[in-house]
Amino acid sequence: MTGPGGGRSLADRQAALVAALVAGAPIPDGFDPRLVGTARRALLRKRSGEVARHWPVLAASFGARWPAVFAEWGDGRPTQGSFQDGLALARSLALTGAAAEELAEREKALRPRTRLSRLLRRAR
């Protein structure tokens, strides 16, 4: 179905707007760049809060700078889910202290458990 959006369907225009909001795609014709930018920043703040709930130590390690740190990293990256976003961000940083420990614990928990590792764990 075509319409006033240059022959593009409503679904195509909506997809283009979503891509501009969350993946750094160009702003589609007919949308106010200032308003799209405001919405994009609000979505990044929301994502930073969701990631902070999954990665509290990582977020706390940046204090009040956390939303800005996350926004700089997340701008132009579509979300992969709050946990995965936090994991990718944590892996991209040179973490120290408790934040590095949080990442190490999460990565350990993600490793596949083999029968041998379960037996060794029980033997301890």
**Owning domain of residue 66:** 48-123
Percentage of the chain exceeding pLDDT 90: 74
Residue 102 within any structural domain of the chain: yes
Rounded Cα gap, residues 18 and 53, in angstroms: 24
Residue 99 within any structural domain of the chain: yes
Residue 55 within any structural domain of the chain: yes
Residue 72 within any structural domain of the chain: yes
56: left (phi over 0), alpha (psi -120 to 50) or beta: alpha
Residue 56 within any structural domain of the chain: yes
**The total number of structural domains that make up the chain:** 1
CB 95 within 8 A of CB 62: no
Residue 113 within any structural domain of the chain: yes
26: left (phi over 0), alpha (psi -120 to 50) or beta: beta
Residue 43 within any structural domain of the chain: no
Task: Kindly report, residue by residue over 65-120, the tens digit of the pLDDT.
Answer: 999 999 999 998 999 999 999 999 999 999 999 999 999 999 988 887 777 777 77
